[in-house]
């Protein structure tokens, strides 16, 4: 009869294979699954926007929008009514290219692109009352309640002291481990940073502590024809999100809804595309369960496991049959094969 020790070794081998298969499954799930939410915009309302405004910064304060516009010789800082009409506007010196904008107390701080200068404006009358100096380019700026959060077009975000503009700390922005560059106009609160991605129709939400992207929003639905790049994020007093872009004739109030197919580009930007035809993803409700394909490793291991089990059975049967006297050789019963030798 087949030795019990042999059977135990086979059982141990099968157990090891099952454990390895389970671990590979967990590892595979960890590699493939992403915690990044993929969203798209749904238009709630729209208002007019000055199509001559090369929007670089946008914020909401006490019922009014405040906007920074760019281009040399055309840069402005302006106050805009909720219907999109410009209430007042002041031109920057022609040497400045206006960029991101943030509110600090009763002042507005406006970045410039390559002048290494942040302009400080009196909120009430747009009087220029001072400036800050910094190294590198200025792109986006927002106030998270304790610091001024600044982008420079790279994957780096600096948190600056609102009193002297010195750097307090720095984070690097990543999406599933990949650095995200071209961070442009910003909107922020105490825990998150919203950022436009230059040359992209995507907006990302960044964890202020880790720098990790936890949401990607595809806003391509808003951009029409020859309109410029998406750039301008503002959260109003009701918590609604408003979006616009460079030289756009409209500003949109939007809601974020779950997107369908997601794709990450190799250039560090993100696309979220609707599935069509046979590529349309399965739709799941809260009451239904969605089935997903098992990793290839699972199929391979279970196939190997089945092969080992069948091989053991065949070998065991052959050994029993060969050990019998010639006149008693017959097809053995399976219960005889795995009985212990006495």
Segment holding 309, helix H or strand E: helix 296-323
Strands 76-80 vs 86-91: parallel, antiparallel or unpaired: antiparallel
DSSP helix/strand/coil, 14: helix
Sheet holding 37-48, edge to edge: 183-188, 192-197, 202-207, 213-218, 37-48, 250-258, 241-245, 230-235
Specify the pLDDT at position 102.
Answer: 98
**Exposed (0-12), middle (13-18) or buried (19+): which is 105, by Cβ within 10 Å?**
exposed
Is residue 206's pLDDT more than 70?
yes
Mean pLDDT of 30-36: 66
Reported as a single tens digit per residue, the pLDDT across 111-157 is 999 999 999 999 999 999 999 999 999 999 999 999 999 999 999 99
**Exposed (0-12), middle (13-18) or buried (19+): which is 148, by Cβ within 10 Å?**
buried
Specify the pLDDT at position 35.
Answer: 87
Reported as a single tens digit per residue, the pLDDT across 266-290 is 344 444 333 322 232 333 333 333 3
Strands 64-69 vs 76-80: parallel, antiparallel or unpaired: antiparallel
DSSP helix/strand/coil, 285: coil
pTM: 0.69
Segment holding 170, helix H or strand E: strand 167-172
User: pLDDT category, 38, cuts 50, 70, 90?
Assistant: very high
Q: Which residues of 258-293 are buried (b: 16+ CB within 10 A; e: fewer)?
A: ebbebebeeebbbebeeeeeeeeeeeeeeeeeeeee
């Amino acid at each position: 009869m087949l030795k019990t020790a042999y059977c135990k070794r086979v059982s141990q081998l099968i157990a090891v294979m099952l454990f390895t298969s389970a671990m590979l499954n967990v590892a595979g799930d960890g590699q493939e699954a992403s915690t990044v939410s993929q969203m798209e915009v749904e238009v709630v309302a729209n208002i007019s926007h000055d199509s001559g405004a090369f929007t670089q910064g946008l914020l909401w304060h006490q019922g009014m929008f405040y906007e920074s516009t760019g281009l040399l010789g055309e840069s402005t800082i302006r106050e805009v009514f909720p219907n999109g009409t410009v209430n007042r506007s002041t031109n920057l010196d022609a040497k400045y290219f206006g960029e991101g904008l943030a509110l600090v107390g009763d002042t507005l701080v406006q970045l410039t692109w390559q002048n290494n200068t942040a302009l400080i404006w009196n909120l009430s009358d747009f009087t220029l009352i001072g400036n800050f100096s910094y190294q590198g380019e200025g792109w986006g700026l927002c106030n998270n309640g304790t610091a001024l959060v600044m982008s420079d077009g790279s994957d780096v975000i600096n948190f600056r002291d609102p009193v002297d503009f010195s750097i307090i700390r720095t984070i690097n922005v990543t999406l599933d481990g990949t650095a995200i560059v071209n961070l442009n106009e910003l909107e922020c609160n105490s825990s998150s940073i919203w950022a436009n991605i230059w040359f992209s129709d995507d907006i990302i939400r960044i964890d202020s502590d880790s720098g990790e992207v936890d949401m990607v929003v595809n806003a391509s639905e808003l951009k029409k024809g020859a309109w410029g790049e998406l750039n301008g994020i503002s959260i109003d007093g009701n918590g609604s999100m408003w979006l616009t872009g460079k030289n756009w004739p409209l500003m949109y109030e939007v809601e974020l809804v779950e997107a369908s197919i997601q794709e990450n580009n190799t250039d560090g930007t993100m696309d979220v595309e609707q599935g069509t035809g046979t590529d349309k993803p399965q739709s799941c409700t809260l009451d239904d369960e969605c089935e997903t394909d098992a990793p290839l490793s699972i199929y391979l291991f279970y196939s190997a496991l089945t092969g080992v089990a069948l091989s053991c059975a065949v070998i065991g049967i052959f050994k029993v049959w060969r050990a019998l006297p010639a006149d008693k050789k017959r097809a053995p019963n399976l219960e005889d094969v795995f009985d212990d030798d006495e």
